[in-house]
Every structure is written in C-alpha cells, then in structure tokens.
Chains A and B, each alone.
Chain A
Amino acid sequence: MKHLLTTKELTREDAELILDVTQQMADAVTGREVPKLPALRGRTVVNLFYEDSTRTRTSFETAAKRLSADVVNFAAKTSSVNKGESLRDTALTLQAMGADAVVIRHPAAGAPQRLTEWLDGAVLNAGDGTHAHPTQALLDAYTMKKRLGGIEGRTVAIVGDILHSRVARSNIWLLAKLGANVRLVGPPTLLPKDIDDWPVEIGYDLDASLKGVDAVMMLRVQHERQNAAFFPTANEYSRLYGLDERRLALMPDHAIVMHPGPMNRGMEIAAAVADSPRATITEQVTNGVWVRMAVLYLLLTNGESK
C-alpha cells in the first residue's frame, strides 16, 4: 500500500490488516497515561483540506499526533470564482517541503489520484467529491466488527442519498469485499444510474429493507438537494426515508444504527433514535482516530517497525 485512495482498490487482505492494526492501536493507547506512540516520530503529515471539515481534520490530526508525527494543517480555500493556487502547484510546494504523507479532502472527485502524480509521499484520501472516503468506510467496518462480532454474512442497509455520497461508495466496496450483504435504499432520484453490476440489492421501501438487517447506515441529506427537486419536501423525505422509532422497532433487537455525521436530526434520523443505545455515532468518531492511526502507520512504515 503506497496510498489509500479508495476501498475498491484495497485487497481483502489489506482491509483486514488495517482493521487488525486498528484494534492494536486502540489497545496500545487506551488506558495509557500519555496516549502516544513513537512510531512516526520525525515524519511530517500534511492535512490539505479544501473543504471545511473540522471533524475529519481533527480526527486525522489527533491520529497523527498520537503516533508522534509532526502535523501541518494546510487549509486551502477554493471556489469556482477564485481558484487560487492550482492543485499541482500546491502539490509541488508540499513536495519541496518534504511531506511524508498528505491527507487530502477535496470537493473534486479524483483530486487525490491526481495528487499522486505530482508527489512522492503517501496520499491519503480524506474524501473527494462524491467519489470516495475510505477511512470513513474503514471506521464503519471496524465499528460493525466490534458491535456485531464480525462482518462476514451480516446485512447492512445504506439509506438515503447514495448518488452524492462518497461514504456510501466507499462502504459498498469494502463491505462487499469483507463478505457483508449490502442493501441500498433511497428514492430513485438519489440512486446512481446503471449500477446493476454493483454487489448490492436495491430497494425503495425502507420498511421492507429494514427486515433482518444487522446494521443500518443513515446518510446525511444535503439541504441543496431539496432545491434541486430530488424529492418534493423535507417532510416527505423524512416520512419515506427517515429512521424513526417505529422503524427502529422493525429492525432486529441486536441491529445497530450508524451515521457518519453530521446529522440532520428530524430529517434522516429522529432525535430519539440518534440518542438511543443502539446508535453507534459517537463510537464511530472514537474508532475513526484508531483507524486513521492504523492507516497512517501502515502507509508510512509499510508495517516495518512499531
């Protein structure tokens, strides 16, 4: 593994290795007086964020610091009006500064892949457009593994705006690779076209799709989708595809509720569901740090020292 750009390109072995190392990271740090490992001392990790995402950036920063890496936050603003410095020039600058790894969040799909052409260091995709968000999928998988005891043979429903979701795209490939059954549920306007070859079942009826699930993953609905007429009203969306207590009761007792955050309470998820013990939302955040530690460690050391 030189870079982590998508979960599609990960082998099952790589994915399982990351999840194993995630467990080791959690075990190694939890309960320590100083929750810090020396593994990446002297290495520089650059957080290159073209989108505001305090959650993800902080998670990566925490992960890198717990591994004793030096962290540089490079907040790059882009807009279509003022493009500012080109991605290539920024890459050449980071290259000249000697970044060992670049964690990139970018609104354009494929930007991390472009970056690998201009940088020698490792590139870690922290979300690119509507394409991929591999560490989110890995932390979701780790959370399921912990809560459900495994992933093989489990059934996971991913609900909502699949079309615009990098989280969904990354979860689909990873979960399928790890042997889960994946169901996609949402209005037809928010499902991509021509996905017959994807390793998923597709449904439009949330009640039916919740039967027999082990986990349900609710996706955030962006407000701008409503203006673009992907669905008539927020109320109707919530009625058809929101997870409320009635629907929670349709799920098996052991099934968990996941959300990548930030949530629209009352829209895709009812407040009572979000706060129920079956929701894993804060656990996902905690696990995100372990997963990102594991990935940074594996990319920067090739697993050679610890």
Chain B
Amino acid sequence: MSDPLNRATLIKGADIVGKGRQDVLVRDGRVAEVGAVSVKDADVVDADGLVLLPGLVDLHTHLREPGREDAETVLSGTRAAAKGGYTAVCAMANSYPVADTAGVVEQVAALGRAAGYADVQPIGAVSVGLEGKRLAEIGAMAQSAAQVRMFSDDGHCVHDPVLMRRALEYVKTFGGLIAQHAEEPRLTEGAQMNEGAVSAELGLPGWPSVAEEAIIARDVLLAEYTGARVHFCHVSTARSVDIIREAKARGAKVTAEVCPHHLLLTDEAARSYDPVYKVNPPLRRGADVEVLRAALAEGVIDAVATDHAPHAPQDKECEWAAARPGMLGLETALSISVLALGGPSDVDWDVLAERTSRTPARIAGLEAHGRDPQPGAEANFTLVDPAATWTVVPEGLASLSRNTPYAGMELPVTVQATFLRGRATVLNGKIAEETSE
C-alpha cells in the first residue's frame, strides 16, 4: 500500500472514463499529473486494460451503526463500499438512536473518518425519531461538524403534507434538500410485495405502484410551490419516471435515484417466498425495469443509489411476512449498473460515471468527489476491469450480512483498485488493511 505522505503513486495506462489511455500521477492525496507520465520515485499500478472512473458515490446506504452492529458497522459497510468502487457514501438516518440530532450525525461521521475506507456523509432525519410528527433539529445538524445537507426519513415517507412543506421551506435556507421515501402509508398497510399479477397469485398483500406515484406527484408540486429541492429515493415504477420527467421539463428542482435491484430483478422473484427478495419499495414488473433502465440512460433518473440494507440472518431466514425489507447493494451496484446501461462492451463509461459518481456527488454536495482526474483534484477514483466477470458468493462479501439477492449470479466488471485521497482502499481486488488516515 502506498503512503501518500512519502511516495507517489503512478497509475499506468488506465482508460480514463472510456475516453482514452493516460497515466495518472498521484501525490499527497491529489492528482499531480495526467498524461504520459514517467517518474522514478513512485509506486506503479499497472492499469493496462482497466477503466478509471471517479470514485463511486452512494446517495443511499444503511450502515446500521449505531444500533445494529450485528448486521453492519460503519467499518464493515465502508469496506464493502470500497470493494464496490465507492469513495463516499451517504449514511441514512434510521439507526438506533435515529440520526435526528447533531450528536448522532457527528458520531457517524467520526466513525467513518476512523474507518478510513470511504467518506461517510450522514443524512439527517427530517422528523424526530422518523415519526413524521415534529421536525428534527435540522439546523443544528446542518451547522454541526457533519455539515448535513440532505435529510430523509427513509424507511418512512414524510407523508404529512404540512410537515413536508415545512421541511422543504426550512432546508432551502442553507441549500439543503429532502430525500423522500415516496410511499403513501395508507395505500401500503401490510403490503409485502408489488401489487399485480404475481401478488394476486401468491396471496401476499400488494404494494400498489400508485402509493409511490401519488407522493412523487405531490412532492413535485410542493417543490415547485416552495422552490426547494426534493430528491426521490429508490424510484421503482414506470409512471414515477413519467412524473419526474414532466417535472424536470417544467424546471422543478427534483432529482431521482434508482436502485440496482430495480434495474435487474422483478416481482417474479417473490415466487420463491425467499425474503432475500423482499425490499421496500418492492421489486416491480419487467415493464418497470425496462423503463427505469431507459430513464437512467437518458438522465431522467439522475443516479444509481444502492439502498444497501444489511440484515442479520434471523431477520431474513423466516417467513416472508416476518422478514425485514432490504438487500445488500454496495459490492454489486457497479456491475449491475453496467448491465443496466448496456453491458460491459456497450456501456458508455462517461454516462456510467455521471450516474454513479459525478451526479450523486453533486446532489449530496460532496465537492471532493465525482471529479475526473485532473491536476489538483483529490485522488478519489476506482479502477475497474471491464473484461472480467465474477460470481457473487455471499460468504465472500465484505459486508457483515449475507442478504444479497444475487448469490450465485455471474456479473460483469470487477473492481481492481479504489483510491481515497490517493490511498488505496482496495488494491489488486483486495481490501487494503490499515487505512486510517
């Protein structure tokens, strides 16, 4: 592992975001030179055949610490992130205690710094305890050392229109945004999977697509009315895409993310009754998957976000209805994003970088991330092998949990190296030890 304080790192011959091969010299955590570089006092990383991407940025990660350290910790979660090519993750607020105070968000940020595998940007809760009743101390969290800009009650919808309006007005003062988990709760009471032909047959209570679309439509209107920014988490239906497209055409300040699993899997997976496929919002129809893929390519959907949701075995090895929703995502998101954007030989790496790194960094306000290598920029990037494939083995994942829906699947593209401020968090496909800065 290189030591950025002393030796430089020279990455030789990487294809820079698919635009051509260059060498990248990294010194003191920043990019020193890009081009045909030859220096003597540098560790050389042979990147022949590899594509260099700006480090991936996840807008939606559940790190489970504090509270459920049996499922994931900030350390294990960020190791998984690095393995997946990420240099920054946004940690959702639904920990125990909830990240609804400056103290909790500062703790999460500090744990991230101590781990050193990826920058951890806490997301603050919109409401106290995620209960949807009173606004959390948004201002205190914004002014804290964690500098929270994004607020979300994810896991719960901010369904009260008055609370949503107030939150939007409030975050506008410091350029913040609300990340909405769009789910009208009255329409999804007891819901277990997508409402449609498969749920009708399986006898599992349905989660109707309109429960998502109704909230997205309402919040588009509230965003326009207040002039504030709304980000839509895990958009899962074709009709939601239509609403967001129209909103953007009118100039509403809305952005949207899609999860890898909604780009690949469908509600047919529920036929196994294996809760590894239970997720909220649920896996939808094949027709939705097609529309979401097209919307991601087009940019109507701004970003891929993992909704990485680790769960302990007992919360998944049970009946479907008793299981907790959510699936792992950090280590498989890049591969699935490549698949969704045309596969390893046809993918436009620039579009991939836009959706998995630059745009999410912009949405989250992470200025040091999502930048292509240029002299002076922080050296946050990942090297991927577009020709390699790998098979998902749950026991082989860096996450503490095993709830991946891709077990046994062969996926394209491997992460060979990830650099966080010039320091390799992953090298030769292996997680580097002792990364703390």
List residues of B (13-59) whose CB comes within 8 Å of A's CBs.
none
Complex: A166 Cα to B200 Cα, angstroms: 11
Number of interface residues of B (CB under 8 A): 23
Where the two chains meet, the residues of A that have a C-beta atom closer than 8 Å to any C-beta of B are: 8, 83, 86-88, 106-111, 113-114, 128-132, 166, 169, 192-198
Complex: A169 Cα to B205 Cα, angstroms: 14
- B273→A86 contact, CB < 8 A: no
- B318→A88 contact, CB < 8 A: yes
Contact A86/B321 with A113-B273, A130-B203, A169-B201 known, Cβ cut-off 8 Å: no
- A88 proximity list for chain B (CB < 8 A): 317-318
Q: A131-B204, A132-B203 are in contact. List 20 more A-B contacts (CB 8 A).
A: A86-B314, A86-B318, A87-B318, A87-B322, A107-B321, A109-B202, A109-B320, A109-B321, A113-B272, A114-B274, A114-B318, A128-B203, A129-B203, A130-B205, A192-B199, A192-B200, A194-B200, A196-B197, A197-B197, A198-B200
- B204 proximity list for chain A (CB < 8 A): 109-110, 129-131
Shortest beta-carbon distance from A92 to chain B in Å: 11
- A109 proximity list for chain B (CB < 8 A): 192, 202-204, 273, 320-321
- A129 proximity list for chain B (CB < 8 A): 203-204, 321
| Residue from B196, B197, B274 whose CB has the most chain A CB atoms within 10 Å | B197
- A195→B318 contact, CB < 8 A: no
- A110→B202 contact, CB < 8 A: yes
Complex: A108 Cα to B273 Cα, angstroms: 10
List residues of B (263-318) whose CB comes within 8 Å of A's CBs.
272-274, 314, 317-318
28 sampled A-B residue pairs with Cβ under 8 A:
A8-B201, A86-B314, A86-B318, A87-B319, A88-B317, A88-B318, A106-B319, A107-B321, A108-B321, A109-B192, A109-B320, A109-B321, A110-B202, A110-B319, A111-B273, A111-B319, A114-B274, A128-B203, A129-B203, A129-B204, A129-B321, A130-B205, A132-B203, A192-B200, A192-B206, A193-B206, A194-B195, A195-B200
- B200 proximity list for chain A (CB < 8 A): 192-195, 198
- A108 proximity list for chain B (CB < 8 A): 319-322
Residue of B nearest to A115 (CB): B319
Shortest beta-carbon distance from A13 to chain B in Å: 22
Chain A to chain B: the 10 pairs with minimum beta-carbon distance, closest first: A110-B273, A131-B203, A192-B200, A108-B319, A130-B203, A108-B321, A194-B197, A109-B203, A194-B196, A111-B319
Where the two chains meet, the residues of B that have a C-beta atom closer than 8 Å to any C-beta of A are: 192, 195-197, 199-206, 208, 272-274, 314, 317-322
Complex: A1 Cα to B71 Cα, angstroms: 39
- B273→A114 contact, CB < 8 A: yes
Residue of B nearest to A228 (CB): B189
Of B197, B203, B320, the residue contacting A195 (CB under 8 A) is B197
- A196 proximity list for chain B (CB < 8 A): 197
- B201 proximity list for chain A (CB < 8 A): 8, 169
- B205 proximity list for chain A (CB < 8 A): 130
- A87 proximity list for chain B (CB < 8 A): 318-319, 322
Complex: A88 Cα to B273 Cα, angstroms: 14
- A106 proximity list for chain B (CB < 8 A): 319
- A130 proximity list for chain B (CB < 8 A): 203-205
Complex: A51 Cα to B319 Cα, angstroms: 15
- B195→A86 contact, CB < 8 A: no
Complex: A176 Cα to B273 Cα, angstroms: 24
Residue of B nearest to A191 (CB): B200
Residue of B nearest to A80 (CB): B322
Shortest beta-carbon distance from A127 to chain B in Å: 10
Residue of B nearest to A78 (CB): B322
Shortest beta-carbon distance from B197 to chain A in Å: 4
Shortest beta-carbon distance from B81 to chain A in Å: 30
Shortest beta-carbon distance from B317 to chain A in Å: 5
Shortest beta-carbon distance from B286 to chain A in Å: 13
- A114 proximity list for chain B (CB < 8 A): 273-274, 318-320
Complex: A21 Cα to B173 Cα, angstroms: 76
Contact A169/B317 with A83-B322, A109-B273, A110-B273 known, Cβ cut-off 8 Å: no
Residue of A nearest to B322 (CB): A108
Shortest beta-carbon distance from B31 to chain A in Å: 51
Residue of B nearest to A197 (CB): B197
Complex: A49 Cα to B200 Cα, angstroms: 24
Shortest beta-carbon distance from A291 to chain B in Å: 21
Complex: A129 Cα to B205 Cα, angstroms: 10
Complex: A106 Cα to B320 Cα, angstroms: 12
Residue of B nearest to A112 (CB): B273
Complex: A131 Cα to B197 Cα, angstroms: 13
